[in-house]
Every structure is written in structure tokens, then in C-alpha cells.
Chains A and B, each alone.
Chain A
């Protein structure tokens, strides 16, 4: 194995490309085509969005602390739930994993950068305007839409102009994702170093290859659905209006055709990160690499044909309900395979529990709980009771927060040394983990009971029998929110004054960025590709 990056070679490059003269300050970030810079911007953007969406969650949980309306009006409450969902899904969690993709894919396949560096820049810079549009919707007449992130018709047709701003934001976010995915696929297919066959790639790269295909397939369908909503609102179409021969349920079919693969778009890169972290801290290779690839691919393919399990109460024909129930239950098989493989990776390893590993194990434990509640929801008769209740809210927060978010934390702690050249404070990192773990479960475990007991979702006030669990949930929410400020502190402290990191801070890490690149990774890496054996 050889990587040819000597110090003097780098300086030549710097002179040749005039990097000593590239614009500093803000303009550098506006014009950069460097995958590391862009990855950094994605990650910071997603963190700002995470705090923004989190603030809205605090408003929601403050209102739900006790019965009665105290904090906001019911209309504003609905706006909070809608924006919380849209911001967290499209502004926080998806860009976070795109940030990982940008930083890591080129390094892990031995490429100098993404295939289309300038398009990479555009993909990022579309995001802040889109976020601004979403936030702006709060301040226009009528406020932000109060329709839930799922934006069902015909409620969306009734909304004020905040709905139109949201539709435009969704279009822009979609374009960003599609461009990013084209970039990722092209990079992975064309820019791998010699000797890096597809089946030698780190699993993280595989998961992004699969996710990028999903994105290209379904983001345009979402664009179609919201465009139909826009024209129903303003241009006299009646896609979702029975009066004109349309059907509100049609929106749900189109939306969930996007929406179900979307949740795997969120989860699959999270699987990828965890598949890098767990082997590194077990000091043995990932168990069953081939079946992990096949399992992830099966999950992705299956995700296209199960969407109506979000629609069991709409009045689907019996045959359809039975089909969707069976197909949805089937996804448990490849998902189970992955969970077993991660546990088998740990089995008889030589385990240490630094912060990345703690978050990865937390992911494993809690994502599986979310998977089981998903299985419960897949069963039609049971779903009739649980659809649109807090049980669903609990389920998706387990898979998306304890799942995707914890995986993102694992990844950040894992790769911070490679990105910054410095070690984060391990004690504080562990505090962040345990606080997040405890408070997360405080918020969401009791919500399973709320749903079972009969509390619907998206309501700003509730009957007194739901009080105690709502109180616990709200207290947990405040604790969880504050704990994320600790995370911000850990990251800033690391960047400013962290201890210098060794070349390979993690003994068991074995992908190219750890074995072939210095720590921190240089601004340009793998200008000459390594040869992989």
C-alpha cells in the first residue's frame, strides 16, 4: 500500500494553485469547491437547524407540560409542530449526513475530491435560502403552515401564504439533495482508487451509494406532490379535491411514495456510520460485510413498496391492507440481520468505550426499540388503534433521534480528530452521551404509553389522564435540549484548545482516511490515488 503524500509535494501544490492567495474570510466559504470545506459547512448548518428545530420542540413540550393552553395558541402550536418536523428532517438530519458524505467519501475511496466540486458548492448554498424561506413563513400573514410535516391535502389548500413559502423551500431542498446525490454516485462509481472494488469499500460509502439512488428516485416525486398542492391552491387544478374529480387520499399515496424511502434515506447513512465505529472499537472487522451490503440493498428496494402502511385508516381495500402489512413486516428481516451483524462484530472483540462507541451502542439498543415499535405498527388491526397517536411519535423519534442522531454524534466524535487534528474532551463527551441517553428515554419512552392509552398526536391540549407522562416527557425534553448545548461546548473546545491528536487515535480504525492520511487530513488529500490491495 502506498500513498504518496509528502510534505514538499503539498507545498508545491499550494504554490501551483495559489492557495496561499485564496480569499480568506467569508468569501472563501462562499466560493469553496473543497469537499472538506463543504462538509464542514453542511455540518455547521445542520447543527444550527438542529438547535432551531429543537427550540420549536421546546415550545411544543412547554405547551404540553400540563393540560390547558398556556404558552401559544392552537394555530401557533400547529405551526411549531409543522416547522419542527420540516426543519429536523430537511434541515438538520439530512444535511448532517451529507456533511459526513462530503468529508469522508473522497478520503475513504482514495479520491482527491467529489466528481463535481462546483456543483457540490451549489448543493450546499441552496440550503440557507431554503431554511430562510421556512423561517420567513412564520412572519407572513397567516404564519407558517399548520399542516404537519406531512402536508396532507385538503388542509394545505386552506393555508395562507406561509404554505407557498414552504412549498418553494421544499423544492429548493429537493434540488440540493438531487444534485448532491448525483455527485455522490458519480464520485463513488468513477473516482475510486485502483484496487478499491465496490466490495472493498468501507460500508459507510456503500450506504451512501444506496441512499443517493433513493434520493434521486423519490425527491422528484415529493416535488411533484407539493407542486400539485401549489396548483390546487392557486391555479384551479383539483388533484386532491373531490369536487373536481380528485381525491385527498391521492396526495397521501404520492407523498408516502416519497416519504417511506425518505425515512430510509435518513436511516441508511446512520447504519453506515455505525458500521465504521463499532468495528473500530471492537478491534475486529465488521461481521458479514457481504450480507450487510445485501441487507441494506434489500431494505432500500423494499422501502419503495410499503408506503401505504402510513395510510391504513384511509379506507384502503382489504387486499391492499393485507399486502402492505406483509411487505412492511418483511423489512424486519434484513433490518434484523444488520442488528445481529453489529452485535456479532462486538462479540469476542476487544472492546473499549470511548464516546463514539457509547453513541454507537446507544444507537444499536434504541434503534432496535424503534424497530420493534415499527413492527407493532405494521400490524393493521393494532395500527388502527395506534395510528396518529403518540405511539407513532415515540416510534419515529426512537429511530430518527436515538437512531440517526446518535449515529451522527458517534460519527462526529469519531472523526473530529481527523477533521481538526485535535482530541475532544473525553470526559465531557461521555457526559454528553449519558445525559442525552437518559433524557431522550425520558422524553419518548413514556410516549408509547400515551399512545396506547389513547392520546392523539398533533393536539395542543389533552385530557387530564395523560398529564403525568406528558410532564415527564416535557422535563426530559428540556434536559435533552440543554445537553445539546454541552455538545456545542465540547466541539468548540476541541477546535479551539483540544489536545493534539495522534496520527491514529483509534486503534481499530482501518479505513483509508485513518491508515493513509495524516491527522488532521490535509486540505487536499489523495491528489495521487493510493493503490489499494
Chain B
């Protein structure tokens, strides 16, 4: 039988924890879902703390000065204006602090650039104003599973929600008709390009952002640790609907992914002409 005090205590603790979690969600990077995203998150925290310490130190001194070295409390100006030793110290010390920051940053960057030995390769193409996903190649137990599957992924939020005549849905502006589906815990290499102007494919929870440059491919990769649905957005101004071409990635367990892929293949065998028609329609998309 819990006492009232215990109940209040538990309630307060829960509120505090959820408040902190909620606060984290609002004030910091999104919850990392890949090792790369986690490294970025930690790197940002370290740098932020270092900056805060320096900031408090320097402006602590400035505010001390503001309070104690005022004419109105009778402080007389001490006429010094040089001190070579101090100048050398505050040139050299920041330099070493920067080296300390650069070291882990370099390590993370090298990892982020390593696209070798992927389990699955997907081609992502940015259009005005949607994405297309084409599964190029699986390796190992993904071999042949989804190869050749291709579809467009367009914003699914209805026009009247945007223009105010309907209430906004739960995933307003971050929902699509056909999300990218990938298996969990597999290294997915994405080849990114664009059909018209610059776009950028950005998944905050994965720590992945890559510009889509028309006429060129760029590659990057991610390995998601937990199944779920993750949302991102286009991150390069691409015209009037730049804010309306989100990215949704559904991460499934291996077996569910294989089932999904099989269904896609049957569907596209049936409606094979449909993707070509869609491609033709894409050519007519207004600029």
C-alpha cells in the first residue's frame, strides 16, 4: 500500500524524467539511431560544454568588470594597455583546445566517409518535389531480395491540412505515400542524385545528410540499430515546394523486409508500365 508521499514522489520523478526526455527532444539533436549519429551527438555535447566553460570564464570576468570597475563606484582607470605574456597565453591555449576538438572530429569523419562493403545499395533521386528510391543491389542474405524495386515517394499530407481547412494530422508534413524501407542492422549504402536542381537527403536520426547534385552521384551510408519509422526532410532549397518533400524511412526486421520486398516485386511486375508512366509524368512536373 503506497503512501501518498510515495505516490507523489514517484509521480514527480516520472514527470522530471519525462520532462528531461521531452526537454532533450526539444533542445538537442534527435535521438541517435545509428552509431554515426551517436558519435555526432556526443561530439556536439563535448564541444558545447567546452564553449560554455570558456564563455562563462570570459564573460564572468567581463561582468565582474562591469560591476567593480565602474566610474560610478569611484573606480579609477589603470592605464595599462599591453601584456605580451598574457597575449601569448591566450593565443596558444585556444590553439590546443582546438586540437583537442579536431581529434575526435577527424575520427568520426573518416567513419562517415567509409561506404565500403554495404549490405544493400539504394539509389535515391531528388525531383521537384519528391524522391524516388531504387533498390540496386543486396549482398549476402539480402542478395536479390529487393533488387530492382523502384518507386516514388511523395508528400502525403493533404492540401487542405496545409491551407488550413482541415485539422493537421499527427505526422503533418512528414508523411509520404511510399516510404523507403530498409532492414535493421544492415549497412545501407545510398547513392544520391537529382533530376533537376540541387536537393539534399537528410535523416537527422541517422546522422546522414547528402546533397543531391543533378548529373552526379554521391554516396553515403547508414546502419540503423532499431526498427521503427524515422522522418527527415529535403535540406537544400529547390524551389517552391522545398518544404514539402519529406523523407520517411521504415526500418524492418529482416524477415518483414523480405516479405515487403516480395510484395513490391509482384506489384511492380503487375503494374510495370505504371512506373514508366510516372516517370513520364515526372517530366511534366512544373518547374
Q: Assuming the A-B contacts A152-B198, A318-B109, are A382 and B47 also in contact, with contact meaning beta carbons closer than 8 angstroms in the complex?
A: yes
B232 cross-chain contacts in A, Cβ below 8 A: 454
Q: Assuming the A-B contacts A78-B237, A379-B43, A384-B207, are A155 and B197 also in contact, with contact meaning beta carbons closer than 8 angstroms in the complex?
A: yes
Which partner residue on chain A sits nearest B164 by CB separation? A68
Cross-chain contact A388 with B235 (CB below 8 angstroms): yes
Q: Assuming the A-B contacts A288-B81, A381-B108, A387-B235, are A454 and B204 also in contact, with contact meaning beta carbons closer than 8 angstroms in the complex?
A: yes
Cross-chain contact B163 with A375 (CB below 8 angstroms): no
Q: Which of A328-381 contact B (CB under 8 A)?
A: 329-330, 332-333, 336-337, 339-341, 343-353, 361, 364-365, 368-369, 372, 375-376, 379-381
Which partner residue on chain A sits nearest B67 by CB separation? A351
A274 to chain B, nearest CB (A): 13
A368 cross-chain contacts in B, Cβ below 8 A: 55, 58-59
A325 to B202, CA, bound (A): 21
Q: Which of B52-89 contact A (CB under 8 A)?
A: 54-55, 58-59, 61-62, 65-66, 69-72, 75-83, 86-87
A385 cross-chain contacts in B, Cβ below 8 A: 29, 37, 40, 44, 204, 207, 209
Which partner residue on chain B sits nearest A241 by CB separation? B215
Q: Which of B79-101 contact A (CB under 8 A)?
A: 79-83, 86-87, 90-91, 94-95, 98, 101
Q: Which of B20-60 contact A (CB under 8 A)?
A: 25-30, 36-37, 39-40, 43-44, 47-48, 51, 54-55, 58-59
In the assembled complex, A410 has its CB within 8 A of some CB on chain B:
no
A433 to B218, CA, bound (A): 48
Cross-chain contact A351 with B69 (CB below 8 angstroms): yes
Cross-chain contact A152 with B237 (CB below 8 angstroms): yes
B59 cross-chain contacts in A, Cβ below 8 A: 365, 368
In the assembled complex, A48 has its CB within 8 A of some CB on chain B:
no
Cross-chain contact B197 with A158 (CB below 8 angstroms): yes
A75 to B287, CA, bound (A): 11
Partner of A456, one of B29, B39, B58, B235: B235
Cross-chain contact B87 with A333 (CB below 8 angstroms): no
A350 cross-chain contacts in B, Cβ below 8 A: 69-71, 75-77
B48 cross-chain contacts in A, Cβ below 8 A: 376
Q: Looking at the complex, which of B6-14, B180-188, B240-248, B260-268 is the stretch in contact with chain A? A: B240-248
A17 to B105, CA, bound (A): 66
Cross-chain contact A333 with B207 (CB below 8 angstroms): no
Which partner residue on chain B sits nearest A78 by CB separation? B240
A242 to B158, CA, bound (A): 35
B79 cross-chain contacts in A, Cβ below 8 A: 284-285
A428 cross-chain contacts in B, Cβ below 8 A: none
Which partner residue on chain A sits nearest B210 by CB separation? A313
A324 to chain B, nearest CB (A): 11
Cross-chain contact A329 with B98 (CB below 8 angstroms): yes
Q: Looking at the complex, which of A166-174, A193-201, A457-465, A479-487 is the stretch in contact with chain B? A: A457-465
A341 cross-chain contacts in B, Cβ below 8 A: 87
In the assembled complex, A29 has its CB within 8 A of some CB on chain B:
no
B113 cross-chain contacts in A, Cβ below 8 A: 318, 321
Partner of B78, one of A146, A284, A351, A469: A284
A375 to B98, CA, bound (A): 9
A70 cross-chain contacts in B, Cβ below 8 A: 164
A313 to B94, CA, bound (A): 27
Chain A contributes a number of interface residues (CB within 8 A of B) equal to: 91
A81 to B202, CA, bound (A): 22
In the assembled complex, B234 has its CB within 8 A of some CB on chain A:
yes
Cross-chain contact A333 with B196 (CB below 8 angstroms): no
In the assembled complex, A291 has its CB within 8 A of some CB on chain B:
yes
B19 to chain A, nearest CB (A): 15
Which partner residue on chain B sits nearest A242 by CB separation? B215
In the assembled complex, A44 has its CB within 8 A of some CB on chain B:
no
B161 cross-chain contacts in A, Cβ below 8 A: 68
In the assembled complex, A249 has its CB within 8 A of some CB on chain B:
yes
Cross-chain contact A348 with B237 (CB below 8 angstroms): no
Q: Looking at the complex, which of B136-144, B166-174, B250-258 is the stretch in contact with chain A? A: B166-174
A170 to B58, CA, bound (A): 40
Which partner residue on chain B sits nearest A448 by CB separation? B27
Cross-chain contact A456 with B202 (CB below 8 angstroms): yes
Cross-chain contact B81 with A333 (CB below 8 angstroms): no
Cross-chain contact A67 with B172 (CB below 8 angstroms): yes
Q: Assuming the A-B contacts A333-B91, A461-B244, are A453 and B216 also in contact, with contact meaning beta carbons closer than 8 angstroms in the complex?
A: no
B213 cross-chain contacts in A, Cβ below 8 A: 242, 247-249, 314-315
Partner of B112, one of A147, A372, A375, A384: A384
A464 to B167, CA, bound (A): 12
Q: Which of B134-178 contact A (CB under 8 A)?
A: 161-164, 168, 171-174
A372 to B84, CA, bound (A): 25
In the assembled complex, A122 has its CB within 8 A of some CB on chain B:
no
Cross-chain contact A336 with B168 (CB below 8 angstroms): no
A458 cross-chain contacts in B, Cβ below 8 A: 237, 242-243
In the assembled complex, B233 has its CB within 8 A of some CB on chain A:
yes
Which partner residue on chain A sits nearest B28 by CB separation? A452
Cross-chain contact B164 with A340 (CB below 8 angstroms): no
Cross-chain contact A291 with B87 (CB below 8 angstroms): yes
Cross-chain contact B242 with A247 (CB below 8 angstroms): no
B86 cross-chain contacts in A, Cβ below 8 A: 344
A365 cross-chain contacts in B, Cβ below 8 A: 59, 62
A380 to B26, CA, bound (A): 23
In the assembled complex, A243 has its CB within 8 A of some CB on chain B:
yes
B243 to chain A, nearest CB (A): 3
B273 cross-chain contacts in A, Cβ below 8 A: none
A350 to B74, CA, bound (A): 8
A259 to chain B, nearest CB (A): 15
Q: Which of A430-482 contact B (CB under 8 A)?
A: 449, 452-454, 456, 458-465, 468-469
Partner of A388, one of B55, B71, B236: B236
A68 to B244, CA, bound (A): 11
Which partner residue on chain B sits nearest A347 by CB separation? B65
8 contacts across the A-B interface (CB closer than 8 A) = A74-B242, A74-B243, A248-B197, A314-B213, A322-B109, A348-B75, A384-B208, A459-B243
Top-4 shortest CB links A-B: A242-B215, A459-B243, A315-B218, A350-B77
Given contacts A155-B239, A315-B213, A463-B173, 15 further A-B contacts (CB under 8 A): A74-B242, A78-B237, A154-B197, A286-B81, A288-B83, A314-B211, A315-B218, A318-B110, A336-B94, A339-B58, A340-B90, A345-B81, A348-B69, A368-B58, A381-B207
